[in-house]
Structure 1
Amino acid sequence: MRVLVVTNDLPPRVGGIQYYVDQLCRGMVDQGDDVTVYGSSYEGDVAWDRDAPYRVIREKTSVLLPTPMVRAHLSKLIKRYEPEVLVFGAAFPLGLLGPAMKRRFGVPYVAFTHGLEVSAVRAPGGRMLLRRIGANAAAVTFVSKWCERNLAPAFGPGPVYKLLSPAVDDSIYNTSVTGSSIRERYGLGDSPVVTCVSRVVERKGQDTLVKILPSLREQVPGAKLLIVGGGPYMDQLRELAKRGGVDDAVVFAGQVPDDELAEHFAAGDVFAMPCRERKGGLEVEAFGIVFIQAQGVGRPVVAGDIGGVSDSLMDGETGLLVNSSEPASVLAAVADLLSDRDRASEMGARGASFVRDGFTWAQRTVDLRHLLAEVVAD
């Protein structure tokens, strides 16, 4: 197929959506599709684009918007590359270009959603704009059932709806990965370790893990916390650890290279991210790719039961969903898994199978290509 992807979300810009779009584009190329990406500019993009396996055309702006200029440039790309289908890497706002392209060129379009569109639904006029996108779209995808429940009514009855969750590269995230070198690097030894890998922002819940650590260490002597990632909330976390008298039991690894992430997940005995909603539900976890990354390397997970997180694990089988607004609930789950090594090991093994059977990029590429083939054939 000839596919033209329109997106603001593409490496080298860092983020989950960028990774998602890139992996699906790579997967399509691997299957023989001709993929062109029309995107915005970002520092380091020239070198990155040179090595990309698909064609990348950048607008000289940091953000693409559905302006007359962008519409004109997109029209030229359609004439030049003759795509059979358009894909919008995020439905809003660029999906607003779709109806005009469909009318003018007869090219069907598919729009991805990632959960951020919930804020558009709640904004004045936002629902009307999403309905405009949906009324003309061939299909709209969602990363979780929660996203579909919250967004499908806004897009309306016109498009096909399809779950297209994030996934992992199972050649990287698998049970052959060990965290021994990471444990040695940070002096963790044989201590029971809780790991959290994420951006350090309030809604991810790292502060809850720091707050419960004194009590956790009473129940599980020697327990330590490994926090991986950077962000604006780091200073507050360090202060919390100091005030709680556990600063010597918390390792702040900061941002680590992508090729070391799997080992950092594997360095822990339990992965925990008690994420929570903020700003009246406008900040929420739409899926939670870190949970499938952790399960991929065979670690049980403790997850805040919000948004679409429940799609990323099997509660009671591969991990535990908790009420992240109650620290006692988080403490009980983490302490239980650290104390019962057999249960944790069984959960970890089931989690690895869960990911291997349903959450690899190869599988997700098949799902997307099947959807696009149906759209093109219709």
Structure 2
Amino acid sequence: MTRVLHVLDHSLPMHSGYTFRTRAILKAQEAMGLEVRGVTGQRHTAPTPADPEVVDGLTFYRAGGAPGGLPLVREWAEVSALAERIVELAREWRPDVLHAHSPALCGLAALKAGRRLGIPVVYEIRAFWEDAAVGNGTGREGSAKYWLTRVLENDVVSGAHRVVTICEGLRKDLIARGFAPEKLSIMPNGVDLDLFGDPLPRDAALAAELELGDGPVIGFLGSYYPYEGLDDLIAAMPAIVARVPDARLLMVGGGPAEAALRAQAQGSPVAGAIRFVGRVPHHQVDRYYSLVDVVCYPRKAMRLTDLVTPLKPLEAMAQGKLVSASDVGGHRELVEHGSTGTLFPPDDPAGLARALADLLASSGGWVSRREVARAFVREKHDWARNVRRYLPVYQALLPNHQMPSIAA
């Protein structure tokens, strides 16, 4: 049985889009017949009761320690600690391939360990982290740190035997940097339909508790980062309520922009139509999805959102929800206007309001739209199917290994 060791920034039991994608990949690979484990670096900050630690049936090893010291020295110490843990684990467990996931520090650790062990390395890019830092407000485009992060990313892409990206936008950007297209593959974001494929009926008690009324509910469920454009969604609510008086906005989640968004909502002339819930346990998220008619993703236009496809719209489609999203590159890979969702101009509260009010006023077509979107997820973004895309990548590096049947 082929063994794959996934090299990770962090993992379950921490909750993030990163850890949920990792969980889905490892679960689907196990179901397909691969033997998988994960190892995390020092940025995994959850308490570790045991090493290895088994979470949700998956086995994770930890590098241990905490990052510290001066910049650059600190990051190199992180890489070295993770590389040593990979080597130690590999000599015991004997993986056939190291599958590192961004950021570049994980890739550098895998390359360092892979060279010592003679094990091939696959590097998977979920986002360019210099652009993510700009989007999160923790970095500045064009700064020394921005360019250093890009240089490190390029070094890892050059050193890896094969590279996987989550979408066409990232792949095209790498090709523009001069990397060979045949080295690059795409593993798109997906949905574990065992978790998201069976929507709950509307939770009437929860709707009453939140005083949502009987009108249509617009929702956002996720992290509150500046690049998500949630300020535009709140700014659009007066115009939406003017056309659809019973409309409500339900905000579920939290993050760096939360305080500013709550203050903006409190000052809105339709403050009574906006509900903030805060973060909820992951196993209860589907209760809140059950209350929402239209899920809205008003991401700002920038490199991060143009290049990277988000996961949340796919989860919403799987939940049988209508999806509306800003017309940025990452959304266009997932949302076909008028078919799987509704696109509106980014950074434009008035355009957002018109699109959502029009959608709320045309409920007669909702059923067919939901069915088209759910079929799209089942056919194009079901992890049980998508995970097979890894097999040709591994097979190219391990030609003498018997891989599970792609048709299985």
TM-score of the aligned structures, taking structure 2 as reference length: 0.84
> Is 1:95 equivalent to 2:107 in the alignment?
yes
Equivalent position SS for 1:346: helix
Partner of 1:115 in structure 2? Answer: 127
Structure 1 residues 54 and 222, CA gap change in structure 2 (3 angstroms): closer
Equivalent position SS for 1:20: helix
User: Is the contact between residue 240 and residue 247 of structure 2 (CA under 8 Å) also seen in structure 1?
Assistant: yes
Structure 1 residues 368 and 305, CA gap change in structure 2 (3 angstroms): same
Aligned CA RMSD, in angstroms, stands at 2.6
Q: Which amino acid aligns with 1:96?
A: L
The more displaced of 343-352 and 62-71 is: 62-71
In structure 2, distance between residues paired with 1:241 and 1:353: 35
In structure 1, distance between residues paired with 2:30 and 2:395: 15
Partner of 2:276 in structure 1? Answer: 252
Structure 1 residues 45 and 102, CA gap change in structure 2 (3 angstroms): closer
Partner of 1:43 in structure 2? Answer: 46
Structure 1 residues 233 and 104, CA gap change in structure 2 (3 angstroms): closer
> Is 1:58 equivalent to 2:25 in the alignment?
no
* Cα displacement (A) at 1:315: 2.1
In structure 1, distance between residues paired with 2:295 and 2:359: 10
Is there any run of 5+ residues in structure 2 with no aligned partner, and where? 68-74, 133-140, 401-408
* Cα displacement (A) at 1:217: 1.0
Q: Which amino acid aligns with 2:40?
A: G
> Which of residues 133, 142, 163 is equivalent to 1:140?
163
Partner of 1:215 in structure 2? Answer: 239
Matches within 5 A, 1:196-275: 196-275=220-299
In structure 2, distance between residues paired with 1:159 and 1:8: 27
Partner of 2:85 in structure 1? Answer: 73
Query: What do residues 266-303 of structure 1 show as CA deviations (whole Å, max 9, x unaligned)?
Result: 3111111111146xx35767212111111112222111
Partner of 2:347 in structure 1? Answer: 325
> Which of residues 188, 191, 195 is equivalent to 2:215?
191
In structure 1, distance between residues paired with 2:264 and 2:130: 32
TM-score of the aligned structures, taking structure 1 as reference length: 0.90
In structure 1, distance between residues paired with 2:355 and 2:284: 27
Partner of 2:191 in structure 1? Answer: 168
Q: Which amino acid aligns with 1:83?
A: P
Partner of 1:15 in structure 2? Answer: 16
In structure 1, distance between residues paired with 2:12 and 2:20: 7
User: Is the contact between residue 164 and residue 367 of structure 1 (CA under 8 Å) also seen in structure 2?
Assistant: yes
Structure 1 residues 158 and 246, CA gap change in structure 2 (3 angstroms): closer
Q: Which amino acid aligns with 1:21?
A: T
* Cα displacement (A) at 1:3: 0.9
* Cα displacement (A) at 1:185: 3.3
Pairs aligned (count): 376
* Cα displacement (A) at 1:52: 4.1
The more displaced of 91-100 and 102-111 is: 91-100
In structure 2, distance between residues paired with 1:293 and 1:56: 25
User: Is the contact between residue 191 and residue 224 of structure 1 (CA under 8 Å) also seen in structure 2?
Assistant: yes
In structure 2, distance between residues paired with 1:368 and 1:46: 32
> Which of residues 128, 151, 154 is equivalent to 1:131?
154
* Cα displacement (A) at 1:149: 1.8
Query: What do residues 151-184 of structure 1 show as CA deviations (whole Å, max 9, x unaligned)?
Result: 3444722862111122112123236422334423
Query: What do residues 21-55 of structure 1 show as CA deviations (whole Å, max 9, x unaligned)?
Result: 12211222233322221113422443792344333
Identity of aligned residues (%): 22
Q: Which amino acid aligns with 1:168?
A: V
In structure 2, distance between residues paired with 1:70 and 1:211: 45
The more displaced of 121-130 and 144-153 is: 121-130
Equivalent position SS for 2:29: helix
> Is 1:5 equivalent to 2:27 in the alignment?
no
The runs of at least 4 aligned residues of structure 1 exceeding 6 Å deviation read none
Q: Which amino acid aligns with 1:209?
A: L
* Cα displacement (A) at 1:5: 1.3
Structure 1 residues 310 and 284, CA gap change in structure 2 (3 angstroms): closer
